Structure 1
Amino acid sequence: MPYAPADAHVHFALHPDHHPAVVATTSGPTADAARSHLHDLGFRPTSPTTMVLARIDHEEPHYTDQAAKRLRQLGFTIEIDPSLQEDMDTEWEWANYPMPWCTREEVREVSAEAQRIHDDIADGRLTIHLHADDGHTTVAVGSYATGVRRHVHLHGENHLRQVAVRFDEETEAIAEFRRLYSVAVYPGPAPLTELETTVQRVIHGEAAPVTSIGVPAPASPPVAGPGEHEEFLAAFLDDNPQWEKYRTWAGDATIASHENPTVRAEFYHEARHRTHTAWTVAEYDGPIGERVWHAALTTGTPVALIRALLQHLDAPPPVGGVEPYEPLRDAGWHPASHPARTTWRAPDRTMVFEHTPHATEARWTLYGGKDLDRAAWSIRLSSGAGEELLAELAASAVALTPAPTAVAAPRTVPVPGLQPSVPQRHGRAR
C-alpha cells in the first residue's frame, strides 16, 4: 500500500549555480513525509520547501534517479527537469582515474565509501587528529566515536579517500602515523579541498545572497592580511632592542632571541596556507634547560595576539593575576562544557577559546572561525602555559571582537563563481 497519496509532489532539478548538485522542491499535504524520505536518501534542507543533494563524487544524478524511483514506489508524484533527466540518462567517467581496472560500478562503490567518510567527518562521527601530505595526496589519522577497530588511517582526497589501516588503540594509530610522516604532520584535519568547500556551501547555503532586511550577514573572524606578520616582526625588533634578530642557515625563518635567554620566538617566512605554522614561541626553565611551554601560531593570526604573546615574554606580570577565563566571562563570551573540553565562544561567534585539560601539545587553543576544522587561524599552547599569559591572550582576543550588543549592518554577500571539476561525459547508457 502506498505510504503517501498522489497529491504529494516532488520536483527535481539541477542546482542553478553548482552543477551537478540537485535541488528537490516539495509541495502538497504530505510534503513533510516526502522530505523525511529525501533526508534518508542524502538530501539536506535549505528552506521549508527545498532540499539539496551535493556530493563529493559528482554522482548526484545517479542517486537522484534512485531517490525518484523510491519515492514513486511510495506513491509520491515525481517531476524531473529535462536537463537533469539528460544527466540521469548519461553515464560519466572520471578523467585519469587512478584505478583504471575498476568497472563503473566498482568506481561508484569507491566513491560511495569516500562519501561516507566525508559525511562521517562533517557530522562529527569521525574525529581527525592529524593530517599530512605524503608527497602525492593527503593522509590523516582519526577515530570513530564507536565501533570495533575504530581508529583509522585515511588516504586520499574527495572521491578517492579510503580507510587504509585500522587500529584497536588510538595511541597506536597516532604513533604509527607520526612515525610514517614525521615532520610533515600537522594537527587536526586537512583544509577543505575546493570540491569539499563547494559542497559545504551548497548544503549550508553560504553562497546564497543575504537580502532579508534586518538580518545581518555572518560575521567573519579578524585575520592578518598578506605581509602583516613580516611588517610586525620588523617593527617589533626595531622598537624593542632587548630582542635580537637571527636568520636561520636555510634563510626561511627569523629567530627573535630575548636578552633573557629563556625565551625566544621564531617566524617562518614561507608559511602560506592557513594551517601552516607561521610562528613558534617558547619559554625554557634555563639558558640550556627544558622547555616549559610553547605555542604554535598559524598564518592569518591577528598581529594583536602575536604582540600579546611577545610582550608577555618580555615583561610578564606578577604572579597572582586574573584567571584565564575572567576576561572572556566579563566580555560576555559563551561557555560550553563537553566531556573532554571547555569552550568559550565570542558573542559574534568569530572566535573560540578552548581548554582541553588532558592534552599536552594543545591544551589551550584560540582560533578564528565557527569550528576548529575550518579555522581561519589558530594558536595552540601546550601544557605549562601560565594563567597570566592565558589571561593576557584572552583579553587581547576580547579586544578584537565587538561588544555583545553590537549588531552588524545587513549586507549582500555575492555568489562566488565556483567551478568545481566535473567528470568527463563518456556516453549515454542504453
Structure 2
Amino acid sequence: MHRPTEPSRPPRHTPPGGPPPDTVDPAVLAALLARHGWRRRGAAAGPYSRWTPPDATAPGARGHTSLLVPDSRTYPDSTDLVAEALTALRHSAAPSARDILTALHTPVDEIHWQRDTTEPDAPAAAWAAQEQLRGGARALLLAAALATRGTAGYHGARHRRHAEAALDRLLAGAAAGGRELTTFLPVGTGAAPGPDGRQVTTALLRALYAARDATDRQRATGAHDAFEPAVEAGVCQELTEAIGKLVRGSAGIRITLHWAPAAGPPEGFAAHPVPVAFTPGDLPVLREAGARYIRDEPPVPVHLTAVVVRMRREDQSGPGAVRLRILAGADVPQIRATLDEDDYRIAGHAHLLGLPVRMSGRLESRGGFRRLADARDVMPVRVDDGERDRLLKSLHENIDFFEEACGDE
C-alpha cells in the first residue's frame, strides 16, 4: 500500500546522558527540579530533599519516580546520590526530565512558549500547529539575534547570516500539541566553547517588553509614534511579524524566560522576569508598526567590493543589470544593481578576467536591502594570483548563469 511521504521533521535535541555526577551542583539540580514543577517532599530543612515529578499524584500515574538530592556537597555520599538522581532522570517518563538533563549538561537560558489554542483533533492539524509554534519562536529569536548586531526598524537581509549563526546552538524541546515549547540557549562560559546565547535572550527580553509597552500605548492613546523609541530596545519589523505569526490562529501567546541557575541573572535584569503575552487584539497595531518600519527605514550609503556573478541587458549597448556577490562594504550576501553603459562594460571586463569590482551607491530597503540604487564609480580591484584563480574557477563553475536575468528573489 502506498503511504504518503511525511514532511521532514525539525530536529529535536537528544537528551544527554548528563554531566559527570561530581560536576553537578546539587543546588542547581534542585532549582531546575522546582522550575519544572517537581515537588519537594518532607521537611523544608535538612541534609537531603526528596523530589517527585509533577504528575506523581495524578490519578492513574504509573511508576514512583523519586529523587533524593543532597542540599550541598558537604556530605560524604553526595556524589553517589547525585549519580542516582541523574540515572533516575534518564529513565524517568516525566517529559521535563529531558529538559532538566539538558540544562545540567550545559548551562542554558530557558524560554517557555505557551500558545493558547485548542488541542488539534487530527494528526495533520497537530503537526501544522507544532510547525507554526516552532517557526514563530525561531523567527522571534532571529529578530533578537539581529538586534544584537545593531538596532534598525527593518533589517531585511542585513546581518542575517550572522544572526542565523548565533542560533546554531539553539536547542528545542517537544512542541506538545502546538501549544507549548521550550527552547534552550546555551550560556557561554570559560569551560564551554562557542557563542554566548545570553546576548540573544537578553535582547529578546528587552525587545518584548518594549513591544508590549508600545502596543499598549498605541491601543490606549492612538499614538502612531509609540513604536519609534522602541527601535532602540530592539523592536523591528521582523519582531512584529514573528509575534503575529505566533498569535494568529490562537487566543494568545505567553513567553516566559528563566535564567540558567548555574549562571544567574545578568546584570540589570530581574532574577525572575515577568512573562510577556500578546493577544489577537494586538495584531492590527503590530501589523501597522511593521509596515511603518519598512516604509521609514532610510537607504544606506555604501562603498562596496563585490564579484559580478550575473549580467544582462536588453540591447548590445546602453545600461544593464548585474548581480553582485558582496565581499566587503555591506552586510548582505548579494545585491542587484543597474549600471550605465560605461560602468556595465567595466563590470563585464572585470567579470571575464575574474576580478572583483568596487562601486558606490545606496542600499534601499525595498526588497530587503538587496538592491543598489544610484550605482556609480565602478572600478576593477587588483587581487593576488591565488585569489584571482579562485574567482575564475567560481566563474567557470557558474558560467551557465552568466547571461541569466537578475530577477527579483
Q: TM-score range by the shorter chain?
A: under 0.3
Query: TM-score by structure 1 length?
Result: 0.24
Point out the structure with max Rg over C-alpha. 2
Q: Which has the higher helix share?
A: 2
